[in-house]
Amino acid sequence: MELDKSNMRQVIIDSANQLKEGLDLAKDISFDGSPAGGFKNVVVFGIGGSAMPVDVLNSTVQTKIPVYIHRDYDLPEFVDKESLLIFISYSGNTEEVISSINKALSKKITSAVGISSGGKLEELCKENNLPFVKVPAGIQPRSATGYLFSVLVKILSNSSIIDDVSDQIIETSTGLQKIISELEEEGKALAKKLLNKVPIVYSSDKYKEISRIWKIKFNENSKIPSFCNYFPELNHNEMVGFSEVKNNDKFYFIIIKDKKDHERNKKRMDLFSSLLKERGSETYFVNIKEGSEIYKVFSTLLLGDWVSYYLALEKNIDPTPVQMVEEFKELLKN
């Protein structure tokens, strides 16, 4: 398409294959991570799109020791030589992540691995003899979640920190390929409803990070404000913010719903939708597909990709560039 100068549509179509490829990329990386005699925690350093795989991990896989995400400079105070450190920067140049690995190196913490498509992170790992996984370059970080998630999972399973879920990942990859056209059509139809609206994405607590990733995709692909929250928390505070708003028709609510959500939360979702309708707002329910947790999450994320992609086209803009981010990075250099 003329607007889609970087062919993001093909990137979305190809995204299911990332899951299989990521497993192979990290097949040789392992640490002694058995909770009985190894690490006491895992800390993953990443921000933006490079942090998404940790959000997906914590939504889908049971870990034997805590896995934390650090979205900032330097190191958390609790990090020591009993922590496994995983540095993720798709570009390899994310300054917060580079700050963190430099701090770890200064403290002589060597139980660490880098994941990127190259850049400074690759250089630092090679200079300091740290394990490194190189993922394919050429796409936006937010579009590389499949690669980064599978690499992360493979490292953790090789290190006995999680059970091996490779079969689920491969099944998910195959399953997504079968439904990609169906999800594309649903995404295209929902995008038309969202034109000139502000999407508000809600889910249960279990899937709150998935709602947040949808929000991010609206921000970066569609170039619009978007917000997220989760049930039942939002019924105790946020919903009151819409009670007296005169332009509620400017908001469009997307509720991500799973058959296994708590029955009271499912009732909350339905009742809240009714209250919104009385106040002039529309609601769209995204019904999570049945399957493994990994399949449920990635199929829902894939739909979010399509919605945000087609909303960008509805707005006559290219979904790939993030000009304001690049402009901000330039300002930081001064």
277 is known as an active-site residue: no
Residue 266 is inside which H or E element, if any?
Answer: helix 263-278
Return d(Cα 282, Cα 277) in angstroms, integer: 6
* Radius of gyration for the alpha carbons in the chain, expressed in angstroms and rounded: 20
How many residues are recorded in the chain? 334
* Short-list 142, 136, 89, CA closest to 116: 89
Give Cα 46 distance to the centre of its chain: 11
Contact partners, residue 319, CB within 8 Å, separation at least 6: 3, 4, 8, 221, 222, 308, 309, 312, 313
Catalytically annotated residue among 209, 220, 257, 289: 220
Return d(Cα 194, Cα 198) in angstroms, integer: 7
In 3-state terms, what secondary structure has residue 88? strand
Catalytically annotated residue among 236, 246, 330, 333: 236
Contact partners, residue 320, CB within 8 Å, separation at least 6: 4, 5, 6, 8, 140, 221
197 is known as an active-site residue: no
**Tokens matching residue 204:** 């249960």
* Short-list 107, 93, 78, CA closest to 47: 93
Catalytically annotated residue among 40, 81, 277, 329: 329
220 is known as an active-site residue: yes
106 phi and psi, to 5 degrees?
-65, -25
| C-alpha pair distances (Å), 175 with each of 18, 180, 195, 267, 290 | 13, 9, 30, 30, 11
Q: How many CB atoms lie within 10 A of CB 5?
A: 11
**Residues assigned a catalytic role:** 220, 236, 329
